[in-house]
Chains A and B, each alone.
Chain A
Amino acid sequence: MAKTDLFQSPDYYQIDELLTDEHKLVRNSVREWVKREVSPIIEEYAQRAEFPKHLIKGLAEIGAFGPYIPQEYGGGGLDQISYGLIMQEIERGDSGIRSTASVQSSLVMYPIYTYGSDEQRKKYLPKLATGEWMGCFGLTEPNFGSNPGGMLTNIKDKGDHVVLNGSKMWISNAPFADIAVVWAKDEEGVIRGLIVERGMKGFSTPETHGKWSLRASATGELVFDNVKVPKENILPNVKGLKGPLGCLNSARYGIAWGAIGAAMDCYDTALRYSKERIQFGKPIGAFQLQQKKLAEMITEITKAQLLAWRLGVLKNENRATPQQISMAKRNNVNMALEITRDARQMLGGMGITGEYPIMRHMMNLESVITYEGTHDIHLLITGMDVTGLNAFGG
């Protein structure tokens, strides 16, 4: 039988006082929803390596799809801190479910809203907001991950349409997506974004199996074999790598919040366990070695919360730089991953089982620390920002 989710969120610095009543209402609603809908089933789906598709409708209703997209296009019209809090709460449940929401919001709705024509916005955004259509984002290729500018996927101009060839790898939501926002080079080598629809001839999305991470999220390839894409499916208002990078900024921002959710869940689990588990006649929480872990966890979570909140304020004012976002993504995901490892040890043998969420979070975060710019790449971004010197090579 599914266990009751006893989660209580830590707020060591009364950061709640920095939030508006509406922020708290949004957050608490998503938290309730996760407790009711995600926690009871997620372990089973992760064990089976299956995406719980039935959650899509609920995700849409609680506002996980395009919360900051204006209401006239079906979005929530909320601010960036609300978006962050939604991601935090969903990832508290599972990074895979958060990934689906991130992709739909920041990598599919965001580019259509920001770079799309008004016809494209009207055609796609309302259906994406309700989850009637799901989207995916194709940037990474088998030979171009950290260096997406080298991509080989390409389009050739054929008058009223273009012909798309190439392949994308590691694409979240690909196996069930109705549309894909795909980045490809035109004949001049300029990166363009286009909306590819399921059913277009020559377009297929084989699923990637055997993952030990994000098992409750579906990942796949996008294969384009002479796919005819009408020209009205090209995103008119962006050219070059700044197109996909703009999307990644938005998604990375959400991940900086999301990771806090995973960390809080592990901390909360370990804290509760440490008070209940008796060894040598005492609760293990009474031992200094275990207290060190808990004290460091709550310290790191508190720092990460403040970082995310401040970044949210800057983002609301349109002042957050990509480099600031990199710092938060890198710091917070790494913080979360380290907490999962300490928390797992605190639970001893129980920590490796699906009875507790920790091992699942830990494995999930191995993807989170890699996608949307690896841990190393974000460090290079900060390094370049402070020195003015490029250490990426190439």
Chain B
Amino acid sequence: MKVLVCISSVPDTTTKINFTPDNKSFVTQGVQFIINPYDEIALTRALELTEKDGGTVTVINVGDATTEPVIRKALAVGATDAVRVNAGPRDAFFVARQIAGYASNQNFDLILCGRESIDYNGAQVPAMIAELLGIPSVSVCKKLEIAGKTAIAEREIEGGKEIVECPLPMVVSASEGMAEPRIPNMRGIMSARTKPLAVVEPVDTPKNIEVIIYDKPKPRSEVKLIAPDKVEELVDLLHTQARVI
């Protein structure tokens, strides 16, 4: 089986987010980047599936050269080879176009993505890739099994679960539970040194979306503690200051 896993490079979950003075872009200086955690789940499942049934796992990332450490980690964890589309990931359509463009003549049996990236949370890329390639897609899956040329995926839905069957090739986006991410071991890190990482140039893509401004949530206001026996005071403050009653 030939699997493509889409990985994006995102700020570490503990990053303090700051924007440039014009509030149009995110300041990356001093920020640690990691593989998007959902993509890491997808990658791990791809490795499990190919370890079981044989096959290869290619990882693809749309990003400039600064994302290479994240790609190397994916190789260290066990991916066979990697492709980097040399361009900043402008928006979801741009990314999907690049990935679909690369995948269109590679005969992948399965394209795995994370359910969303934890930085911009668009959750659009997987379905867009499928659409551009004209293949089915199932999103936000908690389980994925492959039997021959068919995938069985499990999705969580309100109050229960949904189990779907779908012929390959297809796109699946992974959610928590599909696999437990692995830590690269020493052998993996050493072998990642020499695994192929191809750099390809992006295909032209129309720009439909423009970011006008990023805005941080308002800082939380201070908490006022009121003694348990001062209910009157609480009611008064809710009425006169918070104006909620």
Chain A residues close to B by CB (< 8 Å): 8, 14, 16, 21-22, 24-26, 28-29, 32-33, 36, 61-63, 67, 71, 76-78
Closest to B12 in A: A8
Given A8-B14, A21-B69, A24-B69, do A61 and B186 touch, yes or no (CB 8 Å)? yes
Determine if B189 and A26 form an interchain contact, defined as CB atoms under 8 angstroms apart: yes
| B-side interface size class | 10 to 19
Given A22-B193, A25-B76, do A76 and B186 touch, yes or no (CB 8 Å)? yes
Given A14-B30, A21-B72, A25-B73, do A63 and B186 touch, yes or no (CB 8 Å)? yes
Determine if B183 and A36 form an interchain contact, defined as CB atoms under 8 angstroms apart: yes
Note all chain A residues with C-beta closer than 8 A to B186. Answer: 26, 61-63, 67, 76, 78
| Chain A: minimal CB distance from B146 (Å) | 28
Would you list 11 pairs from A and B whose C-beta atoms are within 8 A, ordered by A residue?
A22-B189, A24-B69, A25-B69, A25-B73, A25-B76, A29-B184, A29-B189, A32-B183, A62-B185, A76-B190, A77-B190
Note all chain B residues with C-beta closer than 8 A to A25. Answer: 69, 72-73, 76, 184, 189, 192
Determine if B14 and A63 form an interchain contact, defined as CB atoms under 8 angstroms apart: no
Note all chain A residues with C-beta closer than 8 A to B73. Answer: 25, 28
A62's contact among B14, B32, B72, B183, by CB below 8 Å, is which?
A: B183
B185's contact among A21, A24, A63, by CB below 8 Å, is which?
A: A63
Q: Mark B59-77, 1 if CB is under 8 A from A, else 0.
A: 0000000001100110010
Note all chain B residues with C-beta closer than 8 A to A32. Answer: 183
CA separation between A312 and B187, bound complex, in Å? Answer: 22
Known: A62-B185, A62-B186. 18 other contacts (CB 8 A): A8-B14, A16-B32, A21-B68, A22-B193, A25-B72, A25-B184, A26-B189, A29-B76, A29-B184, A29-B185, A33-B183, A36-B183, A61-B186, A61-B187, A63-B186, A63-B189, A71-B190, A76-B186
Closest to A63 in B: B186
User: Is the contact region of chain B dominated by helix, strand, or loop, or is it mixed?
Assistant: helix
CA separation between A22 and B184, bound complex, in Å? Answer: 12
Note all chain B residues with C-beta closer than 8 A to A36. Answer: 183
CA separation between A61 and B73, bound complex, in Å? Answer: 16
Closest to A30 in B: B183
| Chain B: minimal CB distance from A62 (Å) | 6
CA separation between A71 and B73, bound complex, in Å? Answer: 20
Determine if B183 and A29 form an interchain contact, defined as CB atoms under 8 angstroms apart: yes
Note all chain A residues with C-beta closer than 8 A to B193. Answer: 22
CA separation between A36 and B181, bound complex, in Å? Answer: 11
Closest to A9 in B: B32
Q: Mark B11-39, 1 if CB is under 8 A from A, else 0.
A: 00010000000000000001010000000
Interface residues of B in 74-118 (CB under 8 A from A): 76
Shortest 9 CB-CB distances between A and B: which pairs? A63-B186, A21-B69, A61-B185, A32-B183, A29-B184, A76-B186, A33-B183, A29-B183, A8-B14
Note all chain B residues with C-beta closer than 8 A to A21. Answer: 68-69, 72
CA separation between A67 and B185, bound complex, in Å? Answer: 12
Closest to B184 in A: A29
| Chain A: minimal CB distance from B143 (Å) | 22
CA separation between A32 and B77, bound complex, in Å? Answer: 13
CA separation between A8 and B16, bound complex, in Å? Answer: 13
| Chain B: minimal CB distance from A299 (Å) | 19
Note all chain B residues with C-beta closer than 8 A to A78. Answer: 186, 190
| Chain A: minimal CB distance from B179 (Å) | 15
CA separation between A26 and B190, bound complex, in Å? Answer: 10
| Chain A: minimal CB distance from B39 (Å) | 16
| Chain A: minimal CB distance from B24 (Å) | 25
CA separation between A25 and B192, bound complex, in Å? Answer: 11
